[in-house]
Structure 1
Amino acid sequence: MNTITAATLNPIATTYPVSRSLPAYAFEAKYEFLRVLRTPAFAIPSLMFPPLFYLLFGVLLNRNSAAAAHYLFATYSVFGVMAPGLFGFGVGVAIERERGWLALKRVAPMPPGAYLLAKMIMAMLFALIIYVILAAMAYTLGGVRLQLAQWLLLGLITTFGVLPFCALGLLIGSRVNAAAAPAIVNFIYLPMAFLSGLWMPLSMLPEFIRNIAVLWPPHHLAQLALAASGREYMGGAFGHLVFLAAFTAICFAIARRWLARAA
């Protein structure tokens, strides 16, 4: 296997004119979104599972508690945006890498980074759609009442909050094969959501779970979501942002190195 340097990832893209780069990025993002939207195995679970989970636990089993309704709306918004990042990158990249699609992208006349940027935009659009669905359910069925600025801030947090999970998914997809990727992503997705206190407050969980919650990205994103919705939250917002930014940068850096070394 030959080591692929940054230049050989896309030799033509190094002299790609700026006037043509932006349309190329836009087309790549557009068709990536349409491709995923037309893939029921990804689109349906990503768009439907979070609202169904929230309907069951946040609405039907809530017992008309306003505090629980606001808490669960914030945390289930985080739970919802985890899926597009983990599955879109973790499973999608693993499949495309194994089928040789990444090798084709390397020699295609396209701007550098367009492939990953398109997937990130796709994940953010899906995250925004999921948030809008959950917000509509929370307002109409869950009795959640927030100020307009809080709705918008929470939507901003969840939309950009998908990026750490994109990085983690890319890390998985760059290393495992297509057959193992779905199982590994699911093994990480659901336990990490539970251990981060997304399904119930950490105060209701054993002490050892509360102690290790700070290790998981969903916990930090959930605290930002709770703060945005005016709920009680743990730690400081700056510390949560630093953790998420560092986690994203480290995962992307490792995944990029692994992808560059792929044959």
Structure 2
Amino acid sequence: MSLAVRHAPDLRAPSMVRIYLAEAAAELLRLWRTPSFVAPSLAFPLVFYVMFGIVLPGRWGELDKATYLLATYGVFGVIGPALFGFGVGLAIERQQGWLELKRVSPMPTGAYFFAKLAMSLVFALVIILLLSTAAIGFGGVQISPVAWLKLAGSLLIGTLPFCALGLLIGTLVKGQSAAAVVNLVYLPMSILSGLWIPLMIFPQIVQKLAVLWPAWHLSRIALGVVGQAQGVNYLQHFGVLLAMTAVLLFFAARRLRAH
């Protein structure tokens, strides 16, 4: 009798923490096994930074090019996993019926979105570490540990509006067109926000309209942290990013309820 009790299955409900962590681990494992997602997400920001920030010669006035591009390519890098992970992932899973299956399963709905958020943050952190290694090890960038922690923390928090934007895109488009739509948003936004080259090179109208892009606000925060922008109003930029996140989540939630 005691042996039977000892080997009886544990019928207690799993804790919410275990459910959320298990879903996040499964999402990370799934994407790590997807080369078409991992390779561009990790390689593109690093390759572009090495090419334009380290290999190509030239100065940008009083700006330190390697340090400037560490901040802006850091922004460019963390946006990718957020947009593609939410936008393309949700669109494909919605089209294939996987999202509907998860809805009717006992799994909490929040675990699904937490897993994608965790995935975005993990990939963002890896990208930040890769860029920092290249910048400090080969680009001659000098940055204090405190400044680096501020930069990394700002970039990680700054992924939120792009996760929300990706979520909205994923509710609007079909799976086969999601990647194209995300790129149509991602690449122009990156260029027009000054992530590849400083905005001072662009016409005045482009510089004025940059305030409409969440990437510009995050880049101002990152540039201020590394000393490549003066007079940065951090509270204002974070406030804009938070407001954009709330608006995008509102419309994404409405779309999800409509499906």
- Aligned positions of 1:156-235 closer than 5 A: 156-233=153-230, 235=232
Q: Find the residue that maps to 1:174 and give its secondary structure.
A: helix
Distance 1:234 1:80, change over 3 A: farther
- What do residues 67-126 of structure 1 show as CA deviations (whole Å, max 9, x unaligned)? 111111110100001100111111110000000000001011112311011100100100
Q: Which residue of 2 aligns with 1:21?
A: 16
Q: Contact 2:143–2:226 (CA<8 Å) still a contact in 1?
A: yes
Letter in 2 for 1:101: W
Q: Any unmatched runs of 5+ in structure 2?
A: 1-11
Q: Any unmatched runs of 5+ in structure 1?
A: 1-15
Is 1:132 the counterpart of 2:137? The answer is no
Q: Which residue of 1 aligns with 2:97?
A: 100
Whole-angstrom CA distance in 2 between matches of 1:22 and 1:207: 50
Deviation at 1:234, TM superposition (A): 6.0
Q: Which residue of 2 aligns with 1:39?
A: 34
Whole-angstrom CA distance in 2 between matches of 1:235 and 1:136: 26
- Aligned-residue sequence identity (percent) comes to 48
Q: Find the residue that maps to 1:54 and give its secondary structure.
A: helix
Deviation at 1:233, TM superposition (A): 4.3
Q: Which residue of 2 aligns with 1:61?
A: 56
Letter in 1 for 2:207: R
Q: Contact 1:62–1:69 (CA<8 Å) still a contact in 2?
A: no
2:71 to 71, 74, 77: 74
Q: Work out which of the two has the higher radius of gyration on C-alpha atoms and give 1 or 2.
A: 2
TM-score of the two chains, using structure 2 as the length reference: 0.91
- List, as ranges, runs of 4+ consecutive aligned residues in structure 1 with deviation greater than 2 Å: 62-66
Q: Contact 2:128–2:152 (CA<8 Å) still a contact in 1?
A: yes
1:119 to 94, 116, 120: 116
Distance 1:235 1:150, change over 3 A: closer
Q: Which has the higher contact order (CA 8 A, sep 6+)?
A: 1
Whole-angstrom CA distance in 2 between matches of 1:103 and 1:199: 39
Q: Find the residue that maps to 2:24 and give its secondary structure.
A: helix
- What do residues 151-193 of structure 1 show as CA deviations (whole Å, max 9, x unaligned)? 1111111122111111101100011001111111111111100
